[in-house]
Chains A and B, each alone.
Chain A
Amino acid sequence: MNFDDTPQEAAFRAEAKAWIAANAPKQYEDELKKASLGRIQLRSANILEVAKAWQKKKADAGWAVPHWPKDYGGRRASPIERVIWQQEEGVFGKLGALFIIGHGMCGPTMMAYAAEDQKRHYLPPLASGENIWCQLFSEPAGGSDVAGLRTRAEKDGADWVINGQKIWTSGAHYSDYGILITRTDPTVPKHKGLTMFFLDMKSPGVEVKPIKQANGQAEFNEVYFTDVRIPDAQRLGAVGDGWNVSLTTLMNERMAIGANVATGFPELFEFCNNLMLEDGLAIDDRAVRSKLASWAVRASGLKYTSFRAISALSRGERPGPENSIGKLVAGAMLQDVATYALDLQGAAGVLSGPDDAEAAGKFQAMLLRSPATRVEGGTDEILRNIIAERVLGLPGDIRVDKDVPFNKIPTKGR
């Protein structure tokens, strides 16, 4: 048991480290370090431009999406090399947030289902950040129940005509392309009537509207489709096979290991180290210590769980669904930590302005953003189901919609 690289890994790390040291946009390092949850903003520059510039620079030197094949813009790095790259890229990795969905989900789906010429055409600019992609899956009628979607695609000659609405689409407003799952047959059971496409987000009939969130930010969008035409050549997978195609996409989402999920603990620890209470530093108070300790072991537990997963990768094993625990633990913890940090501030904890609030309002922002962490990308309840079913082998929920034609499934609870 050790934390050492193999000689090969060490060589890769050294190369990555040297290149990053020479090329990273260091002028943004401090700001990126402080960036908390939600969409990152830079005070002096447009985050989109900075992110695209860094991604392009990486691509030119062969460091963009390291684990992709060379032909598609990657460098065919091993999974462990990918992790090493992430570790070395450090805070600059936060600039990759804009590309995560394209690289992590859309790209792998294209790679699995698009024609070779399409892959060579679309993937390299996706890798280099010249194109941004989004994923159009969630709908008002289908959140955790993705397959409950109702956006229709109807064949018309060599095209498909799309009508409907998607929701919770990150980055739709600055995306160039998207992958889109639609219902092509509502008369068969829900999982059987779906078909996947990719499309140009500038196609006529696509309308993007930002969603104002509970915390006041707007990270996500609604996307409306009105008679949008997509050529059949942009279909991914067979007609009616969209559910299986989407599983490829979603599986890749959960494979992203070593992506450090924020728990709020380091921030709270630092805060308590400096906060004066009436009778001394917060960290000297036993009530505070007891809470800190409980969270400390959860945070370190997650960290070392990811180390174990990395070790498994390093041995060439595929990481399994057990990695679902990361977001499950971190989401609830973030909310509890934020609530507690406000409590430590007493009545002043309600102030949220960066100049009035302790720690520049970081915990207030965390409190307001954290509920979403427990919902997006798989709710706590779905994650517990995944652990119970795929790790522990417990039976799935009893399904009443499985063999029913989609248009016979009730759409209103009462």
Chain B
Amino acid sequence: MVTHEEILKIAKLAKLSVSADELVQLTKDMSEIIGFADTINAVSPENSDFDNINHLSNVFRDDVVAPSFDSGEILKNAPEQEDGYFLVKKRA
């Protein structure tokens, strides 16, 4: 069961504002979604059906260096850049 307080906390973390009507609806929706997730959680991750759908495990790479990309390529989509760095507004 999800409470109004939990919805408000999640909204705050997600930086969303929620009206009183939305709060009621969201709480109901979220409870149903969590209820559905409980069905998935009931399956123990330790059991043999735990592997993903392809039943793959241990797909590894060898520890061998390959050339990286040119930094110009890496920065190509950056909205702002300076001296080879991505530039973003400072966040708290």
Chains A and B form a bound pair = no
B interface list, Cβ under 8 A from A: none
